[in-house]
Each structure stands twice: as C-alpha cells, then as structure tokens.
Amino acid sequence: MLFVPIVVPLIPVLFNSDQPRIFGFPRFYWLQLAYILLGVATTTLVYRMTRKRGGSR
C-alpha cells in the first residue's frame, strides 16, 4: 500500500495539462497538494492496520 503515493505521482497523464484550474492554480500545482494528502492518508491507514492492539508491548 505504501507504493501507491510513490507510483501515482509518476503517471504523467494525470498532470500534463493546464486545465482544470482551481482558484487560478493549474492542475500541476493543486495535484501536488493532493499527492501529499494521498501520502498522509495511506501512511495513516498502514499505521493503523499494523499497530499492535493492547496497552503493553
């Protein structure tokens, strides 16, 4: 699952145009922020799935 935020930004078809613009920013810039959110969400999901249950180690 941790490969998702690494591989998705490497797909050029996602960011190789100027449109659509959000708040005047071209797709490339706001998509970079979306990639950050994707990385945080995936890392959080993997952390929650792999942590041990219970109070002591």
pLDDT tens-digit readout, 9-27: 888 887 777 788 888 888 8
Q: At residue 35, what is the residue type? A: Y
CA distances from 6 to 25, 35, 40, 52 (A): 23, 9, 12, 26
Q: Which three-class secondary structure state does DSSP give residue 22?
A: strand
Its pTM stands at 0.72
40-46 average pLDDT score: 93
Q: What angle do CA 34, 45, 1 make, to 5 degrees?
A: 80
The ranges assigned to domains in the chain are 4-50
36-43 average pLDDT score: 93
